[in-house]
């Protein structure tokens, strides 16, 4: 995991690197066309360190020099490098110091690019819903999308959305209203029809079987701030799997410094204010019902509605494709406009493991 010598300094440096370019990116870009970027996020114990050459198709494109100052997988990468078009292999050669003992390592991976499947999702030349339809054609076994009526048998979508806006006291993001024209299923999970959308608290008290009061009531298991958030938030997607989860929108937005509650990103600066009236998207799940996980961008500001709704397909559809088929395979996605999140850790001093976590259930939140 990328660690920062100080939270603000590290965040500033990382953002500056993305804006201005880093040596690794410049080196590989100079050798030919590039297709995407990758960031290496080391996960080693506090005090351990590593130095390594990043070698792409036989050429050194960057050097990783990292010392862990905090535990866990960090959101900012320790290093960003360009992914050359048509790349075949990635190699790391260097030295890792674990518990004060330095050991050399040299490991390479053959690359499999999943861009041929994911590309429709990132086609900025098409409206968002057409991108989803394009992805569904690629992943027919995972995604079902059909024209819908917004649950018109109960209430027409237009009327349902008008009632929701009145209940929330805020206008809905325009893209949420697009959902009213479609029935979208991903495995056993689905976007809610307009007539079934409602506040998170109502979802918990209804289909999820919680009680408002009592020994296990919401008033006992939820902190006041979380209870208030659920009272004012709109649930638009329900996850059915290992327990129940949901994607929801809070029109009040994030509180400055609020913990994102994402898995492993210790020492982060907390949420930063977003655009006025943008609100904040978050995931909730029965396993950690008292800690909703905020969807924040690289600068820890609330993600846009488009990014939040796109995240559903990244987390529940593309995650089916990103597992390596062998120990020496590295999966990347050069279609993804964001930097690929590559986790690096060691299963022994001479045995580094590098793999894609951009679509992982927990780390896709990064």
227 burial level (CB within 10 Å; 0-12, 13-18, 19+):
middle
**Alpha helices (H) along the chain:** 7-20, 23-30, 115-118, 128-138, 157-168, 174-178, 200-205, 218-221, 224-232, 305-316
- Lateral strand order in the sheet of 34-42: 79-84, 34-42, 340-346, 352-356
Q: What is the pLDDT of residues 155-178, one digit of tens each?
A: 889 999 999 999 999 999 999 999
**How far is the first Cα of the chain from the last one, in angstroms, to the nearest whole number?**
12
Domains belonging to the chain, first-starting first, are 7-114+326-365 (no CATH), 124-319 (3.40.1580.10)
CB 211, CB 248: distance < 8 Å: no
- Smallest CA-to-CA distance from 61 within 44, 80, 74 is with 80
Which segment of 7-16, 187-196, 344-353, 354-363 scores lowest on mean pLDDT? Answer: 7-16
- Smallest CA-to-CA distance from 191 within 292, 363, 310 is with 310
Q: What is the pLDDT of residues 274-301, one digit of tens each?
A: 999 899 999 999 999 999 999 999 999 9
For residue 145, the model assigns a pLDDT of 97
For residue 266, the model assigns a pLDDT of 86
Q: Is the pTM of this model over 0.85?
A: yes
Residue 5 has pLDDT above 50, yes or no: no
Q: What is the pLDDT of residues 240-263, one digit of tens each?
A: 999 999 999 999 999 999 999 998
HSE-CB for 366 with a 13 A CA cutoff: 29
Tell me what percent of the residues of the chain surpass a pLDDT of 70. Answer: 90
**What is the Cα–Cα distance from 13 to 6, expressed in whole angstroms?**
10
For residue 7, the model assigns a pLDDT of 32
For residue 349, the model assigns a pLDDT of 92
Mean pLDDT of all residues in 53-60: 97
**What is the Cα–Cα distance from 178 to 158, expressed in whole angstroms?**
11
HSE-CB for 24 with a 13 A CA cutoff: 25
Residue 29 has pLDDT above 80, yes or no: no
- Smallest CA-to-CA distance from 196 within 227, 229, 158, 236 is with 236
**What is the Cα–Cα distance from 41 to 345, expressed in whole angstroms?**
9
> Residue 103 in 3-state DSSP?
strand
> Residue 199 in 3-state DSSP?
strand
For residue 337, the model assigns a pLDDT of 96
Q: What is the pLDDT of residues 176-235, one digit of tens each?
A: 999 999 999 999 999 999 999 999 999 999 999 999 999 999 999 999 999 999 999 999
**What is the Cα–Cα distance from 333 to 336, expressed in whole angstroms?**
6
For residue 32, the model assigns a pLDDT of 58
Residue 26 has pLDDT above 90, yes or no: no
């Amino acid at each position: 995991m990328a660690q920062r010598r100080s939270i603000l300094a590290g965040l500033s440096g990382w953002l500056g690197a993305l804006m201005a370019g880093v040596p690794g990116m410049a080196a590989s870009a100079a050798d030919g066309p590039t297709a995407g970027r990758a960031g290496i996020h080391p996960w080693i114990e506090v005090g351990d360190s590593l130095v390594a050459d990043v070698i792409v198709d036989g050429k050194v494109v960057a050097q990783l020099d990292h010392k862990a100052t905090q535990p866990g997988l960090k959101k900012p990468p320790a290093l960003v490098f360009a992914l050359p078009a048509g790349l075949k292999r990635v190699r790391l050669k260097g030295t890792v110091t674990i518990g004060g003992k330095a050991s050399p390592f040299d490991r390479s991976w053959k690359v499999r690019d999943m861009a041929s499947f994911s590309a429709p999702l990132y086609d900025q030349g098409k409206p968002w819903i057409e991108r989803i339809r394009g992805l569904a054609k690629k992943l027919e076994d995972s995604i079902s999308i059909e024209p819908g009526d917004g649950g018109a048998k109960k209430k027409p979508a237009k009327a349902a959305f008008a009632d929701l806006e009145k209940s929330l006291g805020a206008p809905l993001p325009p893209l949420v209203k697009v959902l009213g024209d479609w029935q979208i299923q991903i495995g056993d999970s689905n976007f809610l029809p307009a007539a079934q959308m409602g506040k998170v608290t109502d979802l918990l008290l209804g289909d999820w079987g919680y009680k408002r009061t009592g020994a296990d009531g919401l008033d006992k298991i939820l902190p006041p701030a979380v209870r208030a958030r659920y009272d004012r938030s709109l649930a638009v997607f329900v996850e059915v799997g290992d327990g129940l989860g949901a994607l929801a929108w809070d029109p009040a937005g994030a509180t400055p410094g609020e913990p994102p509650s994402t898995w492993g990103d210790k020492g982060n600066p907390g949420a930063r204010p977003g655009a006025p009236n943008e609100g904040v998207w978050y995931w909730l799940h029965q396993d950690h019902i008292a800690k909703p996980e905020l969807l924040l961008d690289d600068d820890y500001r609330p993600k846009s509605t488009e990014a939040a709704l796109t995240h559903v397909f990244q987390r529940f559809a593309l995650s089916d494709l990103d597992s390596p088929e062998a120990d020496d395979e590295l999966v990347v996605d050069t279609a993804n406009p964001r930097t690929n999140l590559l986790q690096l850790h060691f299963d022994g001093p001479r045995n580094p493991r590098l793999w894609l976590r951009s679509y992982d259930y927990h780390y896709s939140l990064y």
